[in-house]
Amino acid sequence: MSASKKCPHCGQWSGWQQNPTDRCEHCQGLLDPGAFDRQQAQVARQAEEKKHFTVDFIQINHNDPPFTKFYKSIGLGFQLAFVSIVSFILWLLALLAG
């Protein structure tokens, strides 16, 4: 599907694939700067969320002493429980928002 859009920068009509990254054939300006900004903002937000909810899981080594293994596995259990709860809340929010 091809469409054309009037370039907001130079006023010429240009082929438009309805992608936020489409550029004017005449001046190389973005045909839909608003959509491009929204897409950039969305990408940035997703990266930010991923950073917040990425938990560094405890690594249990084979040569750890038994006691270290024991408390590390408890810590890991808490981490897994925490991640499950956070994922559940995110899923619930997505469900409610949708």
Contacts of 39 (CB under 8 A, 6+ apart): 20, 21
CB of 47 to Zn ion, least distance (A): 30
CB of 25 to Zn ion, least distance (A): 7
Q: Which of 4, 6, 10, 80 binds Zn ion (CB under 5 A)?
A: 10
CB 44 within 8 A of CB 29: no
> Residue 13 or 70: which CB sits closer to Zn ion?
13
CB of 82 to Zn ion, least distance (A): 50
Contact between 23 and Zn ion by CB under 5 A: the answer reads no
Contact between 9 and Zn ion by CB under 5 A: the answer reads yes
Helix, strand and coil in the chain, % to nearest 5: 55, 10, 35
Question: Closest Cα to residue 52, out of 76, 96, 82, 73?
Answer: 82
What is the binding site for Zn ion (CB under 5 A)?
Answer: 7, 9-10, 24, 26-27, 29
